[in-house]
Amino acid sequence: MIFTKKQQLIANQIENESQISKWKDWKWQLSHSIRTLDKFEQLTGITFEEEEKEQLRETLDKFPLSITPYYLSLIDKTHFRNDPVFKQSFGSVEELITLKSEHADPLSEEKDSPVEGITHRYPDRVLFHVSNICSMYCRHCTRKRKVGDIDYVPSKAQLMKGIEYIRNTPQVRDVLLSGGDPFMLSDSKIDWLLSEISQIKHVEVIRIGTRMPVVLPYRITDDLVKILKKYQPLWINTHFNHPNEITSSAKEALAKLADGGFPLGNQSVLLADVNDCPRIMKSLVHKLVQNRVRPYYLYQCDLSEGLSHFRTPIGKGIEIMESLVGHTSGFARPTYVIDAPGGGGKIPVMPNYIISWSTNKVVLRNYEGVITTYQEPDAYEQKFCDRDCENCNLDLKLNEIDESYAIGIEKLLSDTNDTISLIPEDNERILRRE
Ligand SMILES: *Cc1c(COP(=O)(O)O)cnc(C)c1O
């Protein structure tokens, strides 16, 4: 059923005689988004005590509210305080708490921004913020600092700055469109933007990060898919956090995208009292793969301001990974990552599987607790690599790419770089030598 009784009821309260055609019109949904406490109470029938209301108003002044009628319709009114959709979309007075360890921009996205709209953190790919708005304001947004601030879609001239940066930076082979939600742009703007980026020779893939399939699945129209299909290879990542979000409408949107030929991924955020449970996560990943979406990342909740009530210890994420590895299909398992505060990028975290090691044997444990050994080869001819592929017996003809450049731990492992250690700039022992 695409139009539930509850949805019909909400639609009728918003506008008399609402039709299913209106409900499924994404622009109708957007123009009737719930942005005030009163409207929320009126449409859900949920009421708050006056005292709580006052605090909630203060919260919503600081971090505004915006919920699509569709997403609102998923809230279970009778148990709303424990409802995962309610918690992700409706303000909590705890958002007013700011801890010393929290920052407005914990990932230093603005420090790593060479031009407006671009975050260039990794060598070969960039994040391109192409929209400042979303159809639903996630309460756990990592860019909470920006939510509702500058509610607009950037002009072509503004977007051109990012496009120019990508054009002038040949090492960028992967462009990740994010925001805000890129699908808040009009179809014609999306068409224009993708066409500009795809014309850049060194860009090999484009990715889009969107929460539309979760919060406004009607945005995934046939027209939109038709436009996107012109720009393959195009990867699409979405953001389901709880199995309750995988509704028939969401499934329909995902099917359109999967049928369009786009590889689909999902990025979940680990959130206290929403999905911090191995059984919920397992159910979520199973539903995702049934809908042709591959779980990509499970994020540890960032140290953004006002998110303390959402954060779990890292042990919770490791426990969840422990419950997935081996217990379910490999492709149903996301990579659990911590986005390094200060902008170091995503760091994968796993339970430990290597127990011990000698020169010819590794001792490992599996998901069942069985301890096993792997015999390493007696004779393995170490290949000296001077990164001169022409003279190697492996067949890799690298014509254009300069592979001589290595950074970080890869550099320490290389045969030709003389670096023996990476030393922090302010290391006292080394400073004494000077
Ligand atoms: C997450 C992120 C990317 C993409 O990282 P992948 O691990 O390739 O998915 C790129 N740039 C920035 C700034 C990011 O935060």
pLDDT digits (tens, 9 = 90+) for 56-84: 999 999 999 999 999 999 999 999 999 99
84/160 same-domain check: no
Q: Is residue 417 part of a domain?
A: no
For ligand 1, atom 2, the nearest C-alpha belongs to 127
Q: Is residue 83 part of a domain?
A: yes
DSSP 73: T
pLDDT computed for residue 189 by the predictor: 96
For ligand 1, atom 6, the nearest C-alpha belongs to 346
pLDDT computed for residue 2 by the predictor: 57
pLDDT computed for residue 15 by the predictor: 86
For ligand 1, atom 5, the nearest C-alpha belongs to 346
Structure tokens at 100: 């010393």
Q: Give the distance (Å) from ligand 1 centre to CA of residue 38.
A: 38
Beta bridge partners of 297: 267, 335
DSSP 34: B
50/14 same-domain check: yes
136/211 same-domain check: yes
Q: Is residue 383 part of a domain?
A: no
Handedness of CA 236, 242, 243, 245 (dihedral sign): negative
Q: Is residue 334 part of a domain?
A: yes
27/123 same-domain check: no
Sheet holding 361-365, edge to edge: 354-357, 361-365, 371-375
Confidence of residue 424 (pLDDT cuts 50, 70, 90): confident
178/49 same-domain check: no
86/41 same-domain check: yes
Q: Is residue 371 part of a domain?
A: no
pLDDT, one tens digit per residue, over 362-395 is 999 999 999 999 999 999 988 888 877 777 888 7
**β 174-178/264-269 pair status:** unpaired
Q: Is residue 106 part of a domain?
A: no
Task: Name the pTM for this structure.
Answer: 0.93
- Residue 13, judged by CB atoms within 10 A of its CB (0-12, 13-18, 19+), counts as middle
Domain count, the chain: 2
Q: With CA atoms as reference, report the closest residue to 224 among 180, 188, 264, 175.
A: 188
pLDDT, one tens digit per residue, over 154-209 is 899 999 999 999 999 999 999 999 988 999 999 999 999 999 999 999 999 999 99
What letter represents residue 198's amino acid? S
d(CA 183, CA 220): 9
43/165 same-domain check: no
155/79 same-domain check: no
Q: Report the phi/psi class of residue 92: left, alpha or beta, with left for phi > 0 and alpha for psi in -120 to 50.
A: beta
Q: Is residue 64 part of a domain?
A: yes
For ligand 1, atom 7, the nearest C-alpha belongs to 346
Integer Rg of the chain from CA = 24
d(CA 50, CA 153): 36
Within its chain, how far is the Cα of 329 from the centroid?
Answer: 21
d(CA 99, CA 38): 30
Residue 121 Cα: closest atom of ligand 1:
13
The enclosing H or E element of 224 equals helix 222-228
Confidence of residue 407 (pLDDT cuts 50, 70, 90): confident
d(CA 159, CA 202): 19
Residue 296 Cα: closest atom of ligand 1:
9
133/213 same-domain check: yes
Annotated binding-site positions for [4Fe-4S] cluster: 134, 138, 141
Report residues whose beta carbon is within 6 angstroms of any ligand 1 atom: 119, 121-122, 125, 127, 176, 346
d(CA 310, CA 301): 7
54/133 same-domain check: no
Arithmetic mean of pLDDT, 272-289: 98
Q: Is residue 338 part of a domain?
A: yes
Q: Give the distance (Å) from ligand 1 centre to CA of residue 204.
A: 16
Range of the domain at 231: 118-348
Q: Which residues are catalytic?
A: 121-122, 125, 134, 138, 141, 143, 302, 339, 346
238/128 same-domain check: yes
Q: Give the distance (Å) from ligand 1 centre to CA of residue 402.
A: 22
pLDDT computed for residue 388 by the predictor: 77
